[in-house]
Amino acid sequence: MTESSQVIQRYEERIAVLRIDEERQIGWDQRFGVARIVIFLATCLLGLLGFFSADKAVLLWLAGGMFLVFVGVALRHDQILNRLKILKARRLVNERRMARWHRDWEQFPVPKVEIPDEFSSLANDLNLFGRASLFQWLCVANTSMGRETLRDWILHPAAPDVIRDRQAKVKVLANEKAWREDLEVTGKMLAASPRGPQAFIDWSEVGIWQDKHPLLRWVARLLPVLSFTMLALTFSGVLPSSFGWFGVMSLLLAQAAISILYTGTIHDVFDSIAARQREVWHYVRLLEIVSYLPADVADSKGIDIRETAREAVPNLAALGRISNFAAARHDSIFGVLFFTASWLLLIDFQILSFMEVWHRRCGHRVRSWFDAIGELEATACLANVTHDHPDWSFPRVDRSETRIVATDFGHPLLTNNDRVNNTVEVGPAGRFLLVSGSNMSGKSTLLRSLGVSAVLAQMGGPVAAGELRLPPMTIATSMRVHDSLEDGVSFFMAELKRLKEIVDMSRAQSEGDERVLLFLLDEILQGTNSVERHIAVIRVLRHLVGQGAMGAISTHDLDLARSEDLAPHCDAVYFREQIDKGDGTGKMTFDYRIREGVATTTNALRLLELVGLSEIDDD
């Protein structure tokens, strides 16, 4: 059994164990659900009998006792439901990891993240984002900070020393399967929130609401005190009954009016901190997980993020206890009590005051806590790949490298069964790979394999290769250019504009940038005749190699390799098809293997015949 097969077997065993535990908890859920209904009905029955029976005291005491039992059973049932929710999340995490290994794209989500316009061409050409993309495959981050960190790692190549640091952390976390599962499961519980941590971070960085309403703060504190003081004085006879009750009712009406006017705004603040999902306690759990990171992973920009997490946990737990009171407004049992306290005590204002005291003390540190979580989520994404593909290697990215050397490498988004590995060299600066071959033979896949592997390498992740060495690179592509009716731009003009951008990038790189430009051009300038295309492609390539760029271009123009202008800078490789004539069908097959030289066969006419467009008989 191969190492990769063992990975899948472990996932299958883990899922089976979780299913058994899940079924057990479902049984307890059903039993406690029935018990809650029975005890609740018994409590109501005893209460009703108590009101209409001569022996009221005993029955009402029994009803009170049954109510306490009901509360205990309800709390225990909530624990079971929470346990069941966690088990389902764990199972889903493991099922999706299996789906990622099989590249079963429909079985795991496409995370949403905003892509800057300047990266749209690169992202589209290399399938970096969207469905069946590198981002979808990698991303198990559940916080917006984790997704944005992973996006930035994909789009912005790291420096070699940063890459080496990430690689070391990824290797450590790859062996921490339980830690990674805990991080992802807790993040998944948090992802169910309608707002999430970004709203909490935004609240922590804005001004304090009650500072903008200082008079209201004191009114909210004094009115309940005055109401209960007047009520006590009225009951004790110090105040005349009519005057006392008039005063009490006036104060309560004033409190009710204030509550009605401001409750919506205050509840928006509560929801920013924690809505219905006990978000603060999920934050606490996330940071607890961070606090027991392996020491080799804990350093971030000279700061031990375990210490940052240990500082954050008690502070967030304090906020969690405050938010529990705010969350009571959603509870089926305590919601009525909260509503009553809202106009008797202006409890919303009192809770908000405690939250804003916390804001003054800790608000300025919240973003740093979540930045640490985001970086770890991105690292865990790469660690998952390392764990699931033990036969992959970590590339060497160093300024001493002058070319891309890829041994036994293939496209990482293909399954092990579909991937055909090749060995290829690109460079050094001023040289390019000319890839020719029949339609569907693997030319475009080779270019994308180079591009995506370079992206993964400069993120700090492993690649689908026996070995990969490369210098620090900026990647530029022209593969899937589209025309634009809205902008009045033809396909040919759109492609010319993209090529001009790439040439400009090569000039910028040659003017002191330590990175080499890697260009990947897939059958460019098809929107013109073959003679002009040949001349134009030569001109573009001369610009690129003249600026010290390196790259690869796929083409059907076999004369490019024989061009006097390009031959000194060109390394030609090709793919070919095979026609099986043994069974009489003339079936066409491809082995997707690179060979040195220029393609010797074409297959366009054969493909026409295969789709039913053979030559028409004049007769």
Other C-beta atoms closer than 10 Å to the C-beta of 262 total: 18
Who contacts 76 (Cβ-Cβ below 8 Å, separation ≥6)? 32
* pLDDT average, residue stretch 273-281: 75
Domain presence at residue 42: no
Contact (CB, 8 A) for 124 and 482? no
Query: Are 412 and 364 members of one domain?
Result: no
Q: How confident is the model at residue 146 (pLDDT cuts 50, 70, 90)?
A: very high
Domain presence at residue 43: no
Q: Which is nearest to 380 in space by CA: 606, 102, 158, 181?
A: 181
Q: How confident is the model at residue 489 (pLDDT cuts 50, 70, 90)?
A: low
Q: Judge whether residue 240 has pLDDT over 60.
A: yes
Query: Are 344 and 439 members of one domain?
Result: no
So what's the pLDDT on residue 252? 85
Query: Are 434 and 320 members of one domain?
Result: no
End position of a domain, from candidates 378, 412, 439:
378
Domain presence at residue 504: yes
Q: What is the pTM of this model?
A: 0.86
Domain presence at residue 563: yes
Domain presence at residue 469: yes
Which structure tokens are listed for 206?
A: 């804005």
End position of a domain, from candidates 332, 349, 378:
378
Contacts 24+ apart (CB under 8 A), 313-318: 313/284, 313/287, 313/288, 315/358, 315/361, 315/362, 315/365, 316/280, 316/283, 316/284, 316/287, 316/369, 317/284, 318/358
Q: How confident is the model at residue 465 (pLDDT cuts 50, 70, 90)?
A: very high
- Read off φ and ψ for residue 131, nearest 5 degrees: -70, 140
So what's the pLDDT on residue 1? 59
* pLDDT average, residue stretch 87-91: 95
Query: Are 226 and 270 members of one domain?
Result: yes
- Give tens-digit pLDDT for 370-390: 888 999 999 999 999 999 999
So what's the pLDDT on residue 483? 47
Please state, for a pLDDT cut of 90, what percent of the chain lies above it: 45
Which structure tokens are listed for 514?
A: 């330590």
Q: Judge whether residue 300 has pLDDT over 80.
A: no
So what's the pLDDT on residue 607? 52
Domain presence at residue 116: no
Domain presence at residue 142: no
Query: Are 591 and 505 members of one domain?
Result: yes
Rounded to the nearest integer, the mean pLDDT of the chain is: 86
Q: How confident is the model at residue 600 (pLDDT cuts 50, 70, 90)?
A: low
Q: For residue 274, give its domain range.
A: 186-378
Query: Are 374 and 400 members of one domain?
Result: no
- Give tens-digit pLDDT for 422-459: 999 998 999 999 998 877 778 899 999 999 999 999 99
Q: Judge whether residue 488 has pLDDT over 50.
A: no
Q: Which is nearest to 350 in space by CA: 259, 238, 437, 441?
A: 259
Query: Are 439 and 343 members of one domain?
Result: no
**Structural domain total, the chain:** 2
d(CA 355, CA 200): 12
Query: Are 313 and 236 members of one domain?
Result: yes
Q: Which is nearest to 606 in space by CA: 578, 583, 582, 568?
A: 578
**Which residue did the predictor score with more confidence, 205 or 155?**
155
Query: Are 405 and 535 members of one domain?
Result: yes
Contact (CB, 8 A) for 306 and 291? yes
Query: Are 364 and 299 members of one domain?
Result: yes
Report the CATH number that the domain containing residue 527 is assigned in CATH: 3.40.50.300
So what's the pLDDT on residue 347? 85
* pLDDT average, residue stretch 4-21: 92
Domain presence at residue 366: yes
CA angle centred on 403, ends 397 and 408, rounded to 5°: 80
